[in-house]
Structure 1
């Protein structure tokens, strides 16, 4: 009787389902609603599962999930719950349908339809009972309906456990779809068959998966339940609706926060799929290739993936083989956009090598720059469409990559630059078109008011300009100086509103043209601007503008917040932006002594440095930052006078700076010079100049604040230097020698005891001290 009802209703669905549809709102017709109410009444008063199944079967056949409103769905849920559809799926998969009177396909159709209807309510889609059905749905989509029967002369034997617990991932091993697999277990023949599901069942399964994916943590839920592997298998085997619905769903899982995790868990499956899609891309018609560019972006491996490099390069070279004629042809802005975005993503993954000959590299950059100029040189107030913004964001990445590769010095002696195979003339041409494009970027940013600071596209435009300024500050100098109020104001605004820019946070998570997968903290704009600030603060005119904008105060706040975040890491990771911020502040300290003495933020900075250096000096991975902190602290200290009071933070900073500097040099021998200690050897190229500047600043501190001399003696720095040089033939190099000699001369000049100690050490006229001729004369004088 149940089976007959299912057949009858199946005919209703196929033959008469459209006849009673309501006209405009997509809801139910009066006839449907009348039957629905009777079914709901039957559900509420059902005495057993047979009555429940009959009513549900009528509902799912008569009323598609898309036509049921939320109140109706809730009434069904309250009457049935989610346990029943889950049981129906399990029963269908096991093939043990005798108790229900329905064939497995009918059970499956009923269970998936009910789940699809209930999942349209977000509250229900996140219930544990529904989530535990996901592995089963994925198995159905990837393998079809898997049934097991045992034959030992008694056809009624119950199938053994081929289905895992609902809380575990379903088995997704490759099996033939329409064949039988027979094995023997305990003397009994077990037949395992795989039958294709119909389109309605597949559509219902995908409806549930899409509903879960739309939840805030939905992609994680799908990923943790094996969705990526199952969908890859379904697409690979060309299962029903796998291309129409499975591929877009997988693209969603690979486009956001879950991208890297998905590739880490399923690298082989995803790379096979990526290879297949690439093959489809190369064999498609020209029109289809243009449409496929956007889809292909989603399936690119993340930047820095562990895939075998040569295989990845080979596949990406095939994609470039299709893109090259596109770049050379006349395409409309709408057509060229996806091509350029795909090109930008390919550059992120594999760089310039697979692009092709230098001419094509230049062509790619030129096309990107033309699009940027066309898009940004619009009259003020012109709104850019989302499609245009997306295209320009991709063009920015191409321009940034071009900056990294083509910014060779104009006076390079070689006629052929080693980067990307570009000749010197080609590099100059690339830099020329980049300058024109960045002129348009500057023009666009000049029109931006504070109300648009939260716009992700403005951040992308700002970030692109920062990449240019990090390499090139001599071009467009007047325009850049005029733009400084916006640049600093933009950074300051985000620093003070770090938790209020959720749009930017989401955009950072979903960037399609960058390998960065970090959340938004509010410090990102300043991080990108810091290299440019380091250059600009060294020049008089832009530095004066930066001072008028209270840039030092902004930098000190950035250092303070970043240090607080770094301390919370275990272990703390190197962050080069802190080092760059120190360099910019060092430029102000060296060139603007009066401002440093009067600006309160530098006192705050000195206290911060005194708290930071003791923690950093014993962490090898943060030695470069420690060198920056030490140098900046001593350079600030040299600006103090004899009349300035000595506070505890200043005393602590100088004390730890002396200890830090003492660990640098190791004595050589009677026949070898002093060397850099092993602890410093890995980063000496980065910190050598900072160390020398620190030693010179120490000499200046001795001349302005005589009390420091006793600290130098107490900390043993003088004794350490004299011993190290006395036991070696010479200092490590001439620059180090000059810096040490300057500091020792200051000590000898300001302190009689130091002078006598230095003179006694130099009496032997041997070792590295004998190289310091100016010090020798000073120490010997009366």
Structure 2
């Protein structure tokens, strides 16, 4: 400790504080522990942590170092007549002084004392005034560590998170400081906190919820502000805190409040809704009334905020508006839910009108600010919630949406391209930090359901085509398809990616049906066809992926009709593999089964198709029509059919089942394929004749097939 800490020549605090300078001189000249201890007492008395500048704090640290404070913290034997924690208290005071320097606060020698600080705040008797002071300084040290870049991780790893939770649940001395630190920890490292100490955090949530329900003064609003940080990403519906949270929020939102009182309640409600849907709200009249009020308040807040002409004011309200977006999204879900909705029909009608006004404000805001704030997460959140609305409602705000489409496509394209280049992930603005990061390209994912509806209408479809939507969607599909195929070997492929691909297929089919010439005109569809030709042969769709299989195979067949001259479809191995996959999908949909109520054999859906048939039956019929149209365009295709034995199996199926069990649409679909095979291929016609094709045509009323066979 023989360091030169003489008077500072640069006018620092020691030059202005002669007493402190003398103390440092004494500390410099100390010859043993007793003299050093006495000098340290003088230093701590002369220099409160907040009363000196950083240079002086550094001089004190240079004079003291960590060795002696470490010994003080570890000492258990104070001098006779002194408090039992005197040495420890002095050590904590010194470290607290050091921690006011951010560089020292993240020093390994400070970080390794986190367990000691934990012991201080959880074990000391706060009835002793000096012990209370030591606890306060321990909290000061933990707070300083939390403010450093690596501090939150260190506090979690070294037990501070658990200790702070226990302190708050027990309401030990300084529990209000513990709560403040817990909020900071959850803000900085929510995922890590919930991974490390879920039961302890749930204990705090339970305590806070009870206090929140019972509070009748301003404390209620302070608790409301803190509570949203303690709602886990997934909150079990059986949690006892839900009833308390509902009752506490109900009492707040049903009262006349200022904005500063109402806003935390909306944010907390949004966090609860994000964590467990609307299940935290009880069913019945009271819950219905509460949810309608909650949704109304959210819509009104969005209108008031986004119709502001001053964009700077909007920026200040982003967190609140993003929370309202969450409530609006669940309001849409409740309005569209046919069974089990919280809302009565009259409430749904009223709420849809209010939602429409709120989304008019969202559209207005995006038109005003969208192109100026392309990198702002709040724009992403606004586009996302608009996508949720468009997925369910495209009949309202038609003109406004059409006017906004060029921006939406421009935004989606920029985000997708940034995502492909490995740009930083973009987190959706929300009611709290720690939400799942969303990469840039996913902006388009939230728009796809709405685009699926819009591409069925002439005007928005024309706008989308003119703005380059087909090329963007083809690129996006290929990117998502690669991700889906690469995940097939994993325990479970991403449901979100699969759903996205299905929706994209629906959009492409809308283009194919409404504007068929577009397929041969736009090069992007040739690239998309190549993607399917290369990847489909290696993908053998199973039952869990039949929805996607229906979309992809039907789309491929529809495009193949318009791209028959494409080199990739000229009897290449990829083309044969592609048609083999489509044949498998079409052929395996039906089986012959004994009639459960009679002696006959009837045509039934294959078990693997039953669950998804309501959503894929139309695609199967369209696929059958498209396949029949492809037969005369590809002279080699009948050979693939014969090799697959689909033709033989289909004729055998029709021969063994009761004709009355085959519906008229299926009869038409089967006949279309049989007629084209018979017209195009002599070997196929011979197989049909060998399997009593003429008799089957007569039996099923397939006049076109009967006529075709009679002509040869």
Matches within 5 A, 1:110-509: 110-144=90-124, 198-243=131-176, 245-255=177-187, 257-259=189-191, 261-263=192-194, 265-302=196-233, 304-306=234-236, 308-309=238-239, 311-326=240-255, 329=256, 331-348=257-274, 349-351=276-278, 353-354=281-282, 356-379=286-309, 381-407=310-336, 418-498=339-419, 505=426, 507-508=427-428
Report the counterpart of residue 8 of structure 2 in structure 1: none
- CA drift at 1:693: 2.6
- 5+ unaligned residues in a row in structure 1: which ranges? 1-23, 146-176, 179-194, 409-416
Partners of 1:756 and 1:779 within 8 A in 2: no
Deviates more, 1:534-543 or 1:718-727: 718-727
Q: Return closer, same or farther for 1:751/1:71 CA change in 2, 3 Å cut-off.
A: farther
CA distance in structure 1 between the partners assigned to 2:698 and 2:253 by the alignment: 65
Partners of 1:68 and 1:117 within 8 A in 2: no
CA deviation map 1:562-583 (0-9, x unaligned): 3344455534322222222222
Partners of 1:712 and 1:718 within 8 A in 2: yes
Of 23, 47, 50, which residue of structure 2 is paired with 1:63? 47
Partners of 1:481 and 1:545 within 8 A in 2: yes
Q: Secondary structure at the match of 2:601?
A: coil
- CA drift at 1:69: 5.2
CA distance in structure 2 between the partners assigned to 1:267 and 1:140 by the alignment: 23
Deviates more, 1:454-463 or 1:522-531: 454-463
CA distance in structure 2 between the partners assigned to 1:761 and 1:700 by the alignment: 23
Report the counterpart of residue 612 of structure 1 in structure 2: 535
Q: Secondary structure at the match of 1:422?
A: coil
Partners of 1:203 and 1:241 within 8 A in 2: yes
Q: Secondary structure at the match of 2:518?
A: helix
CA deviation map 1:174-229 (0-9, x unaligned): xxx98xxxxxxxxxxxxxxxx89733322332233233333445433333333333
CA distance in structure 1 between the partners assigned to 2:430 and 2:615 by the alignment: 32
Deviates more, 1:741-750 or 1:685-694: 685-694
CA distance in structure 1 between the partners assigned to 2:117 and 2:42 by the alignment: 22
Q: Return closer, same or farther for 1:53/1:777 CA change in 2, 3 Å cut-off.
A: farther
Larger helix proportion of the pair = 2
Report the counterpart of residue 7 of structure 2 in structure 1: none
CA distance in structure 1 between the partners assigned to 2:82 and 2:542 by the alignment: 69
CA distance in structure 2 between the partners assigned to 1:440 and 1:654 by the alignment: 49
Partners of 2:121 and 2:135 within 8 A in 1: yes
Report the counterpart of residue 467 of structure 2 in structure 1: 549
Report the counterpart of residue 17 of structure 2 in structure 1: 30
Q: Secondary structure at the match of 2:172?
A: coil
Q: Secondary structure at the match of 1:448?
A: helix
Report the counterpart of residue 622 of structure 2 in structure 1: 693
Deviates more, 1:439-448 or 1:731-740: 731-740
Q: Return closer, same or farther for 1:660/1:419 CA change in 2, 3 Å cut-off.
A: closer
Aligned length: 685
Of 498, 501, 520, which residue of structure 2 is paired with 1:597? 520
Root mean square deviation of aligned Cα: 3.7
- CA drift at 1:524: 2.4
Q: Secondary structure at the match of 2:117?
A: helix
CA deviation map 1:232-265 (0-9, x unaligned): 210122222221x211211233345524x54455
Q: Return closer, same or farther for 1:289/1:101 CA change in 2, 3 Å cut-off.
A: closer
CA distance in structure 2 between the partners assigned to 1:537 and 1:547 by the alignment: 9
- CA drift at 1:396: 2.0
- CA drift at 1:273: 2.3
- CA drift at 1:40: 7.2
Partners of 1:745 and 1:778 within 8 A in 2: no
- CA drift at 1:776: 4.9
Report the counterpart of residue 512 of structure 1 in structure 2: 431
Deviates more, 1:336-345 or 1:476-485: 336-345
CA deviation map 1:387-436 (0-9, x unaligned): 5222222222222211111247xxxxxxxx75545333322111111111
CA distance in structure 2 between the partners assigned to 1:596 and 1:375 by the alignment: 44
- CA drift at 1:479: 0.8
The normalised TM-score by structure 1 is 0.78
Partners of 1:640 and 1:704 within 8 A in 2: no
Partners of 1:726 and 1:769 within 8 A in 2: no
- CA drift at 1:495: 1.6
Report the counterpart of residue 680 of structure 2 in structure 1: 750
CA distance in structure 2 between the partners assigned to 1:224 and 1:778 by the alignment: 81
Q: Secondary structure at the match of 1:136?
A: helix
Confirm whether residue 627 of structure 1 aligns to residue 558 of structure 2.
no
CA distance in structure 1 between the partners assigned to 2:94 and 2:252 by the alignment: 46
Of 637, 643, 657, which residue of structure 1 is paired with 2:582? 657
Deviates more, 1:347-356 or 1:750-759: 347-356
Q: Return closer, same or farther for 1:212/1:642 CA change in 2, 3 Å cut-off.
A: same
Q: Return closer, same or farther for 1:307/1:541 CA change in 2, 3 Å cut-off.
A: closer
Matches within 5 A, 1:557-568: 557-566=475-484
Report the counterpart of residue 5 of structure 1 in structure 2: none
